[in-house]
Structure 1
Amino acid sequence: MTASSCRLSRPGVVCSLGDDLDTIGHALFSGQRGLTTSDAFTPGRPLPLGQVTSELPDDSQWPKDHRSRNNRLLALALARLGDEIESLLSSVPGDRIGVVIGSSTSGIGETESALAESGREGPLPETFAYARQELGAPARFIAERLGITGPCYTLSTACSSSARALASARRLLKSGQCDAVIAGGADSLCRLTVNGFLSLEAVSDNPCQPFSRHRDGINLGEAAALFVVTPESGGVQLAGVGESVDAHHISAPRPDGSGAAEAMRQALEMAGLEASEIDYLNLHGTGTALNDSMEAAAVTTLFPTPPACSSTKGLTGHTLGAAGALEAAFCWLALTQGRLPEHRFDGDYDPEIPPLPLVTNGAAPQRRPRRALSNSFAFGGNNASLLLTLDPRTE
């Protein structure tokens, strides 16, 4: 462990694979896709979506400002943290606990429903509350629900939002502003995001195929994932973070992968590790032509011999602002269970991009994974990498 490390608690997770870690782990390590086909957001064009089917908490008695699907996802993830939250609230003063959440949707889905009900001319319904669509709403929801009064904010850097939220949690601890931070992310499916990605011609009509020669776009999903982040030793440590902004294009990544490689390099440097010491790499791996070729170039630039790799977006869909925290949770599971997430695609790797050793067909790791790197790359070249390590005393 290094001076920059901090402990990540057992995560609270809800995604299309389930809402308890045993169920999620079984799907993750067996390569079970959690995609369903629906035209709920695109009438007449059914799409594979990573929709959450778990029963979510009833929000009818919540303050109007908090009633949103995004917050219901967060409430279930918070409930799954269980004892971690109870212990936190009993041992740390509320003004010393921070909340940092990553999101790109917040409560915009409820605004869509309100506008559909009111029509072009009618007044917005009484149930409408502008505050729940503000980007700060998810963090405020958790803070008010738990009575926390420490630093509280939401980050929105598209698909790297919740990875950056975890990096921000580490900074709050290292600066002495907090003694603990609840950090992670949530994004819910809505028409705005689904049709926004359709307008970019980035969505596949079939289950996505990251790194395949036949890849033709992403599947979208929804999720929430939360950790309690503390300065304690032991367990799973957030040993390094790397962040870069290459600003190459508003939506397309820099083709040479230099910005992505810089984020990975920073995470390794902060953790005091060499590339050869990484046991598993969770790829951003969206299944678009540009992202996968860029990421393969970045990985092989930094890793002369890349570690075992997989993209889990073929299982959950791309959960956008929640993806960084969700995939950090998958790395947490890989480290604590000694298994690697399966990479789902058609098996026809694109020969035009640098080869990566993808985890397929239930392949067992060559060595027990102790160090995992997770990539999140976003619009505007907003890149983040998280490096998780397992304290050997935890085994």
Structure 2
Amino acid sequence: MSLSADRQRCRLSRPGVVCSLGDDLDTIAGALFNGQRGLTTSAAFTPERDLPLGMVTCALPDWHDWPPEQRSRNNRLLALAMQRLHDTLMTLRESVAPERIGVVIGTSTSGIGETEHAIAQAGREGPLPETFRYANQELGAPAHFVADRLGARGPVYALSTACSSSARALASARRLLASGTCDAVVAGGADSLCRLTVNGFASLEAISERPCLPFSAHRDGINIGEAAALFVVTEEDGGIQLAGVGESSDAYHISAPRPDGSGAHEAMRQALAMGGYAPEAVDYLNLHGTGTPHNDSMEARAVTALFETPPPCSSTKGLTGHTLGAAGALEAAFCWLALTHQQWPVHVFDGHPDPELPCLDLVASARAAGRMRSALSNSFAFGGNNAALLMTREEY
């Protein structure tokens, strides 16, 4: 089922991505389709407790010439993602007026890591370092950073709905185009590792001390990661289209998903309805799949309630860790790669699916995808902030 002529066009450019798998799309695709984990064991954020983390290890742009209020690891990740989008961004600047270019970035950490360093340096009594700027950790800072480097003067804002932040940023980009407010939107997300997030999830007893095992009978929690992923979103034909978005807020609990998966189900249903797709037309499902007992149980129930026969699916968090506010855009980029290369991302776990969960078609080893035309990506967050993105390949 394809988009009809009267449906909104919403093309996703080749993405700029940096994550624990690398910053080159070919390298990332190789790891994605062969199930190669990008996790590093470290006690950097949890002294005396080694944890697997999806740490970015490639060289990041130098920030010493940046204004002090822009010097954050989040912005360094975004700057590298922008470098990987260089040609697309240059074409954008030459073809679209600055006031018609919008920027929407999803994040949950912004520059909190830099605040942690400043407080540690100051101690309990000392003043904060002269180089510290509180503006580093404002949630809107990453969006303004991207807009400043690009010269964009259209709408510029951030969204922070925890783990669905950057999926909602892409949904917002689609709305900015549909409303006629923008001719192009740079959209995506970034989150960086810091003590607050790693220890926060540890305090919820949601962290695993081994590489996570989504949907396994032996799953015991998540791994935290960091990433940045950006797209240029335009009203053009062809390529990979953001054909539908679905959003719901079930507000069941501040940190736990609704057990029956009804909010997740509604987000997926909306995305398919907007794109004009029946469930059986979906060729691949990127699961939120955190590896926690409650999330995976809820999501399996939501998926099997919507799909009479679930499509091939995988959680890529076993490869990158959970990149929080960046996860929605990062996994949209993975779906972009899957549709472009016609290969399914591998679901990495211990090979023991939980028999108490509804059965899913987990892509547990590299296998040919055949003719893949559509992919649905799930992002579910604290407070029941759910989002689903339907992407389609329109060249057929």
Question: What TM-score comes out, normalization by structure 2 length?
Answer: 0.98
* Correspondent of 2:270 among 260, 266, 269: 266
Q: Which amino acid aligns with 1:113?
A: H
Mapped pair 1:357 → 2:343: no
Deviations 1:229-253 (A, max 9, x none): 0011110000000000000000000
Q: For 1:4, what is the secondary structure of its paired residue? A: coil
Partner of 2:393: 390
Contact 1:101 1:183 in 2 (8 A): yes
Q: For 1:372, what is the secondary structure of its paired residue? A: strand
Partner of 2:373: 370
Which residues of 2 match residues 60-139 of structure 1 at below 5 A? Answer: 60-139=64-143
Partner of 2:216: 212
Mapped pair 1:275 → 2:279: yes
How far residue 5 of structure 1 moved from its aligned partner, in angstroms, is 3.3
How far residue 362 of structure 1 moved from its aligned partner, in angstroms, is 1.1
Deviations 1:164-221 (A, max 9, x none): 0000000000000000000000000000000000010000000000000000000000
| Distance (whole Å) between structure 2 residues aligned to residue 116 and residue 277 of structure 1 | 53
Which residues of 2 match residues 3-82 of structure 1 at below 5 A? Answer: 3-82=7-86
| Distance (whole Å) between structure 1 residues aligned to residue 192 and residue 298 of structure 2 | 27
How far residue 145 of structure 1 moved from its aligned partner, in angstroms, is 1.1
Contact 2:254 2:382 in 1 (8 A): yes
Partner of 1:343: 347
Q: For 2:157, what is the secondary structure of its paired residue? A: strand
Q: Which amino acid aligns with 1:43?
A: P
| Distance (whole Å) between structure 2 residues aligned to residue 9 and residue 146 of structure 1 | 16
Contact 1:103 1:155 in 2 (8 A): yes
| Distance (whole Å) between structure 1 residues aligned to residue 98 and residue 200 of structure 2 | 39
Which residues of 2 match residues 293-332 of structure 1 at below 5 A? Answer: 293-332=297-336
Q: Which amino acid aligns with 1:240?
A: G
Deviations 1:48-96 (A, max 9, x none): 0000001000001100110000000000001101211000000000000
How far residue 26 of structure 1 moved from its aligned partner, in angstroms, is 0.2
The count of corresponding residues between Structure 1 and Structure 2 is 392
Partner of 2:243: 239
Give the aligned CA root-mean-square deviation in angstroms.
0.6
Contact 1:202 1:218 in 2 (8 A): yes
Question: What TM-score comes out, normalization by structure 1 length?
Answer: 0.99
Partner of 2:198: 194
| Distance (whole Å) between structure 2 residues aligned to residue 4 and residue 170 of structure 1 | 9
| Distance (whole Å) between structure 2 residues aligned to residue 368 and residue 162 of structure 1 | 28
Mapped pair 1:173 → 2:177: yes
Deviations 1:129-179 (A, max 9, x none): 010100000000011111111100000000000000000000000000000
| Distance (whole Å) between structure 2 residues aligned to residue 127 and residue 194 of structure 1 | 25
| Distance (whole Å) between structure 2 residues aligned to residue 96 and residue 362 of structure 1 | 42
| Distance (whole Å) between structure 1 residues aligned to residue 219 and residue 374 of structure 2 | 29
How far residue 363 of structure 1 moved from its aligned partner, in angstroms, is 2.2
| Distance (whole Å) between structure 2 residues aligned to residue 247 and residue 354 of structure 1 | 24
| Distance (whole Å) between structure 1 residues aligned to residue 227 and residue 193 of structure 2 | 9
Q: Which amino acid aligns with 2:202?
A: L
| Distance (whole Å) between structure 2 residues aligned to residue 275 and residue 161 of structure 1 | 25
Contact 2:162 2:325 in 1 (8 A): yes
Q: Which amino acid aligns with 1:381?
A: G
Which residues of 2 match residues 283-298 of structure 1 at below 5 A? Answer: 283-298=287-302
How far residue 361 of structure 1 moved from its aligned partner, in angstroms, is 1.8
Q: For 1:392, what is the secondary structure of its paired residue? A: coil
How far residue 106 of structure 1 moved from its aligned partner, in angstroms, is 0.2
Partner of 1:162: 166
| Distance (whole Å) between structure 1 residues aligned to residue 9 and residue 349 of structure 2 | 34
Q: For 2:361, what is the secondary structure of its paired residue? A: coil
Q: Which amino acid aligns with 1:5?
A: R
Contact 1:5 1:240 in 2 (8 A): no
Q: Point out where structure 1 has 5 or more consecutive residues left out of the alignment.
A: none
Q: Which amino acid aligns with 2:223?
A: N
Mapped pair 1:221 → 2:222: no
| Distance (whole Å) between structure 2 residues aligned to residue 215 and residue 127 of structure 1 | 43
| Distance (whole Å) between structure 1 residues aligned to residue 28 and residue 149 of structure 2 | 26
